[in-house]
A and B are shown apart, each in its own frame.
Chain A
Amino acid sequence: MPDFNCIKLHRAFFLRVLIFILLFCSVLAIMSLVLIPKEFINSGYPGTSAILGFYDLPEESLDVLFLGSSHAISGIDTQKLYDDYGYKSYTLGCGEQNMAISYFYLEEALKTQHPKVVALETLMAFPFRHDKVLYSSAAASEKALNFMRPGVNRLRAVYEISGYESELNPLYLLLRFMRYHERWDNLDEKDILIFDDYAYLTLHGYAVNYGNLSNDPPGYRPFDKNSGKAGELSPVITDYLLRIVKLCRDNDIKLILFKTPSNKTGADEYQTMSSFAAENSLLYMDFNEEGLYEDCGFDFTTDMGNLGHANFTGAEKITESIGKTLVSMGITAGNPDREWDETEGLYNICRQNFLLSIEDQKEEYLSMTENSRYSLFIVSSENGENTVYVRCDGKEVLYKDGTPVTGVLPGSEKEYEAASNKEGISVIIGDEEKIKGNSSWYAVVYDEYLRDVFDVVYSDENGKLIHM
C-alpha cells in the first residue's frame, strides 16, 4: 500500500518546492503576457485584445453584448448606442470569430455580466475559409484564446477548438510562453504596455474603420428578401449556435442574430439563417437585405471602409437601426455609467480622425491637423525644392534644402526622421519606414493619443489627397 510518510517526514522540503513552483508559475504567467504578440493593441483596431477591456468592465453593467467577427467590431458603434439610447454595450469580438469562440466568449462573459440582450453577428456561420471546420484560420482562434483568463472555460475552449483545428497545438494554447518564446528579440513598448490600461483603450470593443470606397465604388446591391434559397448550416456550426441559443435561454437573455452589410454573404445565407432564426424563435437582422438596408439609409460606397467592414458613418447607421429595434423589443436601458461616459473623449477623437481620413483637399486636411495631439511630417520634392516640414510637440521646423529632421515623438520613446534629398523622400517612425518614394508630396500624421501613426497621404497629379 502507498505510504505517504515520506511526504510527512520531508514537509519543509515539499513546502519549499511548492513555493518555488508557485513563484515560477507566476513569473511564467507574466512572461507569457509580455511575449504574446500585441498585434491589435494601440493600433486603432483593438479587435482581438477586446477581451482584456471586457474583463475590466464593472460587474453586471452591460445591457447588450455583441459577439462576432471584425464585421461586428467595426459595425457596432457602442458609444452611439449609449449616447442615443442609453444602452451600455460591449462588442466582445475578434477577427474571424468562429461560432465556437463566440460560444466560449459568451460563457466567459456570463461569469461577470448578465446582459438583457446578446446580439450575434453571423458572418462566420458560413464558409469563410472553406478548408476549415470552424471556417476561421488557426491563427485567428489562437489570437482569440491568447488573452482569455486561465480557467475551466479556457481549458474547454482549447480542448474543443484544437479538436477541430489540427494546426493548433493545445499545449501551445495553454503554455503560451512556449509558443512565443522566440519573440524576446522583437519586444517593444506595446508588449510592456499590456500592464497599462492605455494598452487596450477601446470604445468597448468598437474599432472604427477609417476607410471609404469613394475612390473605387463597388458594384454592390442589397438583395431582395424573397430571393435566394435556404441551405444547411454545418453540423458543427449548428451545434455551437444551438449551444448559444440554450445558454441565452437558460440565463433569460434575448438573443438577436444580425449581419452587417458586406459582400461576403448573400441571399442564400440570408435564407439559411432566417430559417434557423425562425426555428428557434429568434430575431434575425440582415443589413444586406434591401428593406433593412434602405431603412437605415446605408450607402455601400460612403459607409463602408472596405468590402467587408462598415466605416464610422456606416456603423452609426447600423447602430441606429439596432437601437430602434431594441427599443421596439421593450429593452430598457440601465442607469448611466461612468465607464461609458469616460470614453466620450476617445470617441470624439475617433470621429475627428475619421473626418481627417476621408478629407481629400490638401488645405482642408492641413487645417484639420492643427491639433496638439497630432504630429505632422510633410516631405516634398517640388519645383527643385526638397522641403521637410515637421510639427511635433508644439514646435515647427521647416527646411527647404532637404536637411533631415530627427527627434523623439511626444509621449513615446519612438524616434522619427523626415528627409527629402537626392535619394528620395522618406519618413521613419520608430523602426518603420512609413513612406519612401519619389512622389512630389507626402504627409504622415502621428496621433499622440493613440500612440501610433494614424494617416499617411500623398497628393496625386491633380492635387487630390490619396490616403494610403
Chain B
Amino acid sequence: MFISLNYLIFLTAALVLYYIFPYRYRWFILLSGSILFYLSISFRTLPLLILIVTVSYFGSLLLEKNKSRSLFFVICVLLLLPLLLTRTFSRITELSIFAPVGVSFFTLQIIAYLSDVRSGKTNVERNYLKYLLFISFFPQILQGPIPRYSLMEDLCKGHSFDEKKIIKGFMLITWGFFLKLMIADRAGIFVDTVYADIERYGGTYIFVAGILYSLQLYTDFSSCVCIAKGSAEMFGISLPENFSRPYFSGSVKNFWRRWHISLSLFLRDYVYIPLGGSRKGRIRRYFNLMATFFVSGIWHGGGLNYIFWGLLHGVYEILEELLKSTWERIGIITGFHGHRRLKRIINIFITDYFIMTAWIIFRAESLSKGLKMLWNMLTRFNPWILFNDSLIMDNFETSDWNILILSGTVLFLMGLLQEKGVNIRERILGYPALLRGSLYMGAILVCIVFGEYGAGFEAGSYIYAGF
C-alpha cells in the first residue's frame, strides 16, 4: 500500500526508469510498474484482473462493431455487476469472496469506458496493453480517483521531466502521509475504542467519535488520493480531483460536489441522468435521487447500514430543497440572513452535523447498532466529559489529543486558504530554496516522529480500500 517505505522505493525506481527511457517506451514502464505493483499487493488476484480487463477489452471491440449496442452494453454491465457486488455478497453470506483488489473502483472505470464507447463519446482502444495500463495504472487502481478515458492519452504520451511537477507531486505525497499518519490513524484509535464498547461509551463520547470518524474517513481517503495524484503528477500525469474540502460545504447537495467527486460524477452520468435526472418532474427527480443514493449505498458495501446511509443522504437533499424557503425565512426573522459569513458558517455547521450523524451509521457494524448509537448520542446527557479527563484513555493519551488537535488545525487552515483560492503548492514553490527545503524536511520529520504507524513504517490499511 501507499503508506510504506516499500512504496516510496518502488515509486523512486519507477520514476528513474520512466525518465531515462525514450518517450515512446515510457507508457510501457508505467504498465510494467503497475503490474509489478499489483503483483506485490495481490499476487493471487492478478490473473483475475487480467481476465476482467481482457473480457472488457474484447467487449469494447464487439460493442463498437455491434449494431445493437445498447443490448450488448447491458450484457457487458450484467457481466461486470457481480464484481461490484462481491462485498455485498460476502457480507450477506459471510463467505470470503476471492475478489481482485480495487475491484469496486476499476469496475466503475470499465463501465464508464464501455458506456462512452457505446454512446460514441470515445473511440475504442485497440492496443490491448495500453488498455491494460488505463485500467491498472498503479496510483489509481486501489482507490481511484475513478478516471475517464481522457486519461488514456495522458498515460501513453511519454512526458518530459518537469522539476516543478516532481516537486509538486512530492508535496502532495508528503501531505498524504501527513493526513494518514497524523490524523486518520490517530483519530481511528479513539473511534475504534468507542465503537468497540458502545455500552460504556455513550452520549457525548459517540458525538466526539462521530466528529473524529468524519475527520478520519476524510483524511484517510484524501490521503490515498493525494498520494495517488502526487505520484501520477511526478510522471507528468494528471488524475482528476476527488475532494474539494467537503466539510466546508454549506449544504448536502454541495457536499456531494466536493466529496468523492469521481464517484459522484459517475453516479450522476451513468445512474442519475440515464434514469431521467431532473428532466421528468419533481417527484421523479426525487425518486431518481433516492435511487442514485441507493446505488451509492450498495457500492459502499451493501450492508443495511450503507443502504440506509445512502438513502439518508437522499432524504437530506430532498428535505434541504423542500425546507429551503423556510430556512430563508428563519434567516430573515432572526437577522443572520443579511450576514453572509455568519449564514455560511451556520450552514456549514448544520450540514456537517447531519453528515456526521450519517457517518455514525455508516461506521457501525450494522444498521441496528448504528441507530442505537444515534439514539444513545441524542438521549444520554454527559457533556461534562468534554471538560474532565474522561476523553483521555489508556490507548489515547493527552499527547494523542494534542497531536490530533494541532494537525486538525493545520488541515483546517490549509482548507481555509484553499477556499480563499490560494494555491498552496504554487505559493510554496515561490519560496526561497532554503525555506522550501526546511519546510519539506520539517513536514517529513513531523510525520516520522509524531505519526501513528507500526512495523516498517506500515500504517493501518485504507478504509476505502475495503469498498
Distance to closest chain B CB from A186 (angstroms): 10
| Chain B residue at minimal CB-CB distance from A17 | B166
- A27 to B445, Cβ gap below 8 A? yes
CB of B449 within 8 A of CB of A31, answer: yes
A2 nearest CB neighbor, chain B only: B20
A198 at the interface (CB under 8 A from B): no
Q: Which among B20, B399, B445, B455 is the interface contact of A4 at CB below 8 angstroms?
A: B20
User: Which of A6, A16, A171 interacts with B5 by CB under 8 Å?
Assistant: A171
Q: Are A181 and B448 neighbours in the complex by a CB distance under 8 Å?
A: yes
Knowing A6-B161, A23-B441, A177-B448, say if A172 contacts B456 (CB, 8 Å). yes
Instruction: State whether the Cβ of B36 lies closer than 8 Å to any Cβ in chain A.
Output: no
Interface check A423, CB cutoff 8 A: no
> Judging by beta carbons under 8 Å apart, are B5 and A185 in contact?
no
Q: Which residues of A contact B440 (CB under 8 A)?
A: 20
Q: CA of A346 to CA of B59 in the docked complex: distance in angstroms?
A: 83
- Counting residue pairs across A and B whose Cβ atoms lie within 8 Å, the total is 58
Q: What is the CA–CA distance of A169 and B397 in the complex, to the nearest angstrom?
A: 27
Interface residue B381 (Cβ < 8 Å from any Cβ of A):
no
B409-437: which have CB < 8 Å to A? 433, 437
| Interface 0/1 of B368-408, CB less than 8 Å to A | 00000000000000000000000000000101000000000
B441 near A24: Cβ-Cβ < 8 Å: yes
Contact A6 B445 (CB under 8 A): no
Q: Does B10 contact A (CB under 8 A)?
A: no
Q: Which of A1-28 contact B (CB under 8 A)?
A: 1-4, 6-7, 9-10, 13, 16, 20, 23-24, 27-28
Q: In whole angstroms, how far apart are the Cα atoms of A178 and B20 in the complex?
A: 32
**Which residue in B166, B399, B433, B441 is a CB contact (below 8 Å) of A27?**
B441
Give which listed residue, A9, A23, A28, A185, contacts B399 with CB less than 8 A.
A185
By a CB distance below 8 angstroms, the chain A residues around B453 are: 178, 181
Report the separation of the CA atoms of residues A4 and B441 in the bound assembly, to the nearest whole angstrom: 28
Determine whether the beta carbon of B441 is less than 8 Å from that of A20: yes
B43 at the interface (CB under 8 A from A): no
| Beta-carbon contact of B449 and A172 below 8 Å | no
- Judge whether A171 and B22 touch: CB under 8 Å: no
Do the beta carbons of A171 and B163 come within 8 Å of each other?
Answer: no
Give min CB distance, B327 to chain A, whole Å: 47
Q: Are B457 and A178 in contact (CB under 8 A)?
A: yes
Report whether B456 and A31 are in contact in the complex, using a CB–CB cutoff of 8 Å.
no
Q: Once the chains bind, are B5 and A3 in contact (CB under 8 Å)? A: no
CB-nearest residue of chain A relative to B442?
A27
Task: Contact check, A24 vs B444: say whether CB atoms are below 8 A apart.
Answer: yes
CB neighbours of A185 from chain B (8 A): 397, 399
Q: How far is the CA of A139 from the CA of B123 in the complex (A)?
A: 61
Residues from chain A with Cβ under 8 Å of B166 in the complex:
13
A4 vs B17: C-alpha distance when bound (angstroms): 10
Chain B 438-467 residues near chain A, CB threshold 8 A: 440-441, 444-445, 448-451, 453, 455-457
Interface string of A158-198 (1 = CB under 8 A from B): 00000000000101100101100100110000000000000
B286 on the interface (CB 8 Å rule)? no
In Å, the complex CA distance between A400 and B408 comes to 53
Question: How far, in angstroms, from A6 to B160 measured CA to CA in the complex?
Answer: 9
Cα–Cα distance between A150 and B417 once the two chains are bound (Å): 44
Is residue B353 contacting chain A, with contact meaning CB distance below 8 A? no
By a CB distance below 8 angstroms, the chain A residues around B433 are 16
- Whole-angstrom distance between the alpha carbons of A1 and B25 in the complex? 10
Give the residues in chain A near B161, CB-CB below 8 Å.
6, 9-10
Docked pose: A23 CA to B441 CA in angstroms? 9
Complex-state Cα separation, A396 to B247, whole angstroms = 63
Is there an interface contact between A181 and B19, defined as CB atoms closer than 8 Å? Answer: no
Q: Are B445 and A31 in contact (CB under 8 A)?
A: yes
Partner of B21, one of A3, A27, A171, A181: A3
A13 contacts B457, C-beta separation under 8 Å = no
Query: CB-nearest residue of chain B relative to A5?
Result: B20
Q: How many residues of B contact A (CB 8 A)?
A: 24
CB-defined contacts of A16 to chain B, threshold 8 Å: 433, 437
Q: Mark B145-180, 1 if CB is under 8 A from A, else 0.
A: 000000000000000010100100000000000000
B5 contacts A177, C-beta separation under 8 Å: no
A28 CA to B447 CA in the complex, in Å?
A: 12
- A13, A27, A172, A184: the one contacting B163 at CB < 8 Å is A13
Is the CB–CB distance between B457 and A171 below 8 Å? Answer: yes
Residue among B19, B437, B448 making CB contact with A20, cutoff 8 Å: B437
Contacts of A184 in B (CB 8 A): 449-450
Which residues from chain B contact A24 at a C-beta distance below 8 Å?
Answer: 441, 444
Q: Which residues of A contact B19 (CB under 8 A)?
A: 6
By beta carbon, the residue of chain A nearest B22 is A3
A23 to B445 Cα, complex, angstroms: 12
Q: Which of A24-83 contact B (CB under 8 A)?
A: 24, 27-28, 31, 35
Contacts of B448 in A (CB 8 A): 28, 31, 177-178, 181
Chain B residues whose C-beta falls within 8 Å of the C-beta of A23 in the assembled complex: 437, 441
CB distance from B230 to the nearest CB of A (A): 16
* Given contacts A4-B20, A10-B163, A20-B440, A178 and B456 within 8 Å (CB-CB): yes
Known: A31-B449, A181-B449. A6 touches B455 (CB 8 A): no
The complex places the Cα of A172 from the Cα of B448 at a distance, in Å, of: 13
When distances are taken between beta carbons in the complex, the residues of chain A under 8 Å from B450 are 181, 184
Q: How far is the CB of A173 from chain B (nearest CB, A)?
A: 11
Q: Give, as a whole number of angstroms, the nearest-CB distance from A430 to chain B.
A: 19
Which residues of the other chain, A, contact B397 by a CB distance below 8 angstroms?
Answer: 185
A178: chain B residues at CB < 8 Å are 448, 453, 456-457
Cα separation A44 to B20 with both chains bound (whole Å): 57
A 303-346 contacts with B by CB, 8 A: none
- How many Å lie between the Cα of A24 and that of B437 in the bound state? 10
Select from chain B the residue with minimum beta-carbon distance to A14.
B163
Known: A10-B163, A181-B448. Is A3-B441 also a contact (CB below 8 A)?
Answer: no
Across the interface, name the chain A residue whose C-beta is closest to B167.
A13
Q: How far is the CA of A16 from the CA of B19 in the complex (A)?
A: 18
Please indicate the chain B residues that have their CB under 8 angstroms from the CB of A181 in the complex.
Answer: 448-451, 453
Given contacts A181-B448, A185-B399, contact A171 B456 (CB under 8 A): yes
CB-nearest residue of chain A relative to B17?
A2
Contacts of A177 in B (CB 8 A): 448-449
Give complex CA distance A459, B92 in Å.
Answer: 69
Of A169, A181, A184, chain B has the most CB atoms within 10 Å of the CB of A181
| Min C-beta distance of B61 to chain A, whole Å | 34
Check A169 against B20 for contact (C-beta < 8 Å): no
Task: Give Cα distance in the complex from A34 to B445, angstroms.
Answer: 14
Q: Which residues of B contact A6 (CB under 8 A)?
A: 19-20, 161
Cβ distance B404 to chain A, nearest Cβ, rounded Å: 14
Cα distance A468–B445 in the bound complex, in angstroms: 42
Q: Say whether A169 contacts B449, CB under 8 Å.
A: no
The complex places the Cα of A31 from the Cα of B445 at a distance, in Å, of 9
Question: Shortest CB–CB separation between residue B456 and chain A, in angstroms?
Answer: 4
Please measure, in the bound complex, the distance between the C-alpha atom of A3 and the C-alpha atom of B457, giving whole angstroms: 33
Closest A residue, CB atoms, query B166: A13
> For the complex, what is the distance from the CA of A3 to the CA of B20, rounded to whole Å?
5
When C-beta atoms are compared, the residue in chain B nearest to A186 turns out to be B399
Q: How far is the CB of A405 from chain B (nearest CB, A)?
A: 30
B441 contact set on A, CB distance < 8 A: 20, 23-24, 27
Contacts of A171 in B (CB 8 A): 5, 455-457
Q: How far is the CB of A468 from chain B (nearest CB, A)?
A: 29
Say how far A6's CB is from chain B's closest CB, in angstroms: 5
List A residues at the B interface (Cβ < 8 Å).
1-4, 6-7, 9-10, 13, 16, 20, 23-24, 27-28, 31, 35, 169, 171-172, 175, 177-178, 181, 184-185
11 additional A-B pairs beyond A16-B437, A172-B456, beta carbons within 8 Å, are A2-B20, A4-B20, A6-B20, A9-B161, A20-B440, A24-B444, A27-B445, A172-B455, A175-B5, A178-B453, A185-B399
Top 9 nearest A-B pairs (CB, nearest first) are A2-B20, A171-B456, A6-B161, A6-B19, A13-B163, A185-B399, A181-B449, A184-B449, A178-B457
| 19 A–B pairs (Cβ distance < 8 Å), ordered by A | A2-B20, A2-B21, A3-B21, A9-B161, A10-B163, A13-B166, A16-B433, A20-B441, A27-B441, A27-B445, A28-B445, A31-B445, A31-B449, A169-B456, A171-B457, A172-B456, A177-B449, A181-B449, A185-B397
